Each structure stands twice: as structure tokens, then as C-alpha cells.
Amino acid sequence: MAYDPRALVLERKGVLSLREFPLEEKLGPHDVRVAIHTVGICGSDVHYYTHGAIGPFVVRAPMILGHEAAGTVIEVGGAVKSLRVGDRVCMEPGIPNPMSRAYREGRYNLDPDLVFWATPPVHGVLRSTVIHPEAFTFRLPDQVSFAAGAMVEPLAVGVHAVTRAAVAPGNVALVIGAGPIGLLNALAALAAGCAHVIVSDIDDDKLALAATLGSITPVNPLKSDLLEAVKAATDGWGVDVVYECSGNERAAASVFAPLCPGGVVVFVGIPLAPIAYDVSAAQVKEARVEHVFRYAHVFPKCVAMLASGSIDVAPLITRVFPFGESVEAFEAAASAPRGQVKMQIEL
């Protein structure tokens, strides 16, 4: 079978091209080769396009974008046991060093040497095929579409966040930010046992979508009082968990006001600059504060929840582009259109 030889290449800041980009890749005994079917566009991909860097990661040479992917296994290495040619799969985009201390301690997402797709200088997967370790490739059951499979990566962030929060049945949560990570975090919180979630954002179209996803109250803090909404939902006590998914400086400064005494704040959104928060406001509530970076050990759980129906990500996929229109897709994503949550590209 002939595959499209092109890849979506970020040549440098602000310049994308869909062009041939030969890569030397060798299938090892524990690897599989996957034909890519669907790739989600992530905020980080867009940020590399518009800014050329995220923190210490700077684009210094042409790099293929994309890290939220699902596809079909087309070749397996000699030692691969769990996957076969024809299996539909999604891939965890970060590959840790198994000799690293972080890996041995079970926190492989914190391995400083982690190799992660579309993080300079590592190429991403907006291309026809990729070689990936069997250990980080997960079979999709028949009822999980490629589109949903490509949502496992951002969903993993939400599932990791609710795992770190240690949600208890009946908790009430506040999610700040109704982008893909915020809404997937809300769905993960509900699946983990939250009775109710309040979602705040200033985009009314995203809030309208949020309201259709389950036991969710949408609040636009520019139009109504977020603290009043929290009090109304919690008998004046405050929410058990605040998920800060916006990365916004002002939002981060006030995360303890809606929190209940003894509650937990989870910082999920990545701020672009250092931000401050009110320690004394946290102290009087003995707030626990967690920070999450990507995820570890959650891809199979995400696939299981998509398969069982306890999480449905389909409503969040708001626009799909063909591979040939990848550059246009990124231009659309970079313009941050109202109401758009997750855009995907199909190969």
C-alpha cells in the first residue's frame, strides 16, 4: 500500500508546510509501525506554530507537528506479543527511558529525558506512518472510533488530574477553563464520582457545549458571580476540588476563594509566565495543592472508559479537516475561533 509521503512540517515560527519529509526510522523488536488515521490539534502544537517555543523547548530546526494520534498497526517487531497487524490503536506520545530513576519510581512523566512527540527536537505524527514502542501503543476496542482514540491523549491529562486530586464520590468540582483540557477534565471528574461540576469560561459557546455534557453548570464570570454559583451549588461550603485549566494569571490568583475548607486545588493549565497565588488564603483552608504534568499510567484506563461509555468525547470534536488542508487547519486553530473545542486532522 502506498502512503502519502508528505508531513505537516513547522519550518520555523509562523511557517508551516505540507511537504515530503523523509525520516530514517528502524523497526526494533519491541516496536510496531502504525499507519496514522486521525491526529488532534493541541494547544501546544498551535503555540509552537505561533511562538516557536514553549518555555525551554525552542524550535531550532524543521519539526513535524502532532502528538494526539490513532491509527492501524501495519507491521510488528519480532518480539511484539500484545499487538497484531490490523489492530486499531492509540499511542502515548511520551517515551521515557526505562533506566531512569523517574521511570523506576513509577513517575515516568517526570523523566527529564522523556522523548515526546512534537516537542523539539522530536518529530510528531502528522505524517502517514510512525514507529512506536509496543509498550506505549494501546488497542482500541471496536466501539472506540479513531476520532475518540485520538482524544485519549488530552483525556489522559484530565484523568491524571482527577487521580491526583483523589476525588471522592459525591464531590463537587470547579473547572476553570472550557477548552479541550478543561472539558475533558470535567468529564473525567464526573466519571471519577463527582456529583456535579461547575465550569467557568468567558466563551459562551463553549459554555453552552459544556452544559450538554452532563451534570455541569456553566458560568461566565464576566456576566455572573462565580463565587455565588459555587455557594449555590454547595450550600455555601465551597467546592471540594478546583481544577485550574486556563493557565490564566488572574484565575490562578483566586483559586482558593471557591474552595471548601480542606479542599484540593489542581494546577493543570500551563501558564506562559510565572504566576503568584495567595498562600495565606490557602493556609486558612489547609488547602492541598497539586500540580500535574502530562500523565502516567492512564492510557488504558481512558480507553476503558471510552469503551464502556462512561466518558463520551465525541461532542468535543467540533471540526475535522482532511490531511491536505493541514496548514489551513492550523491557521483556523491559531485564530482561536469561538466555540471550537477540539479540531482534528484525518489522513
Residues forming the site for Zn ion (CB under 5 A)? 42, 68, 154
Q: Tell me how far, at minimum, the Cβ of 199 lies from Zn ion, in Å.
A: 19
Shortest distance in whole angstroms from residue 7 CB to Zn ion: 18
Q: What is the DSSP string of 225-247?
A: -HHHHHHHHTTTS-EEEEEE-S-
Nearer to Zn ion, 42 or 260 (CB): 42
Q: How far apart are CA 311 and CA 155, in angstroms?
A: 10
Decide if 93 contacts 68 (C-beta within 8 A).
yes
Residue type at 217? T
Nearer to Zn ion, 124 or 238 (CB): 124
Which of 10/42 has CB closer to Zn ion? 42
Work out how close the CB of 43 gets to Zn ion at its nearest, in angstroms, rounded to a whole number.
Answer: 7
Q: Which three cell numbers stand for residue 187?
A: 468529564
- Nearest-approach distance from CB 170 to Zn ion, in angstroms: 30
In angstroms, give the least distance from the CB of 271 to Zn ion.
17
Q: Which of 197, 194, 238, 192 is nearest to 216 (CA)?
A: 197
For Zn ion, give the closer residue by CB, 125 or 199: 125
> What is the C-alpha separation between 21 and 263, in angstroms, rounded?
50
Q: Which is nearer to Zn ion, 42 or 303 (CB)?
A: 42
Minimal distance in Å, beta carbon 44 to Zn ion? 6
Closest by alpha carbon to 136, among 78, 85, 82, 180?
82
Alpha-carbon dihedral angle through residues 4, 315, 156, 130, given to the nearest 10 degrees:
-10
Nearer to Zn ion by Cβ, of 43 and 77: the residue is: 43
Q: Which residue is nearest to Zn ion (CB)?
A: 42
First to last CA, the chain: 14
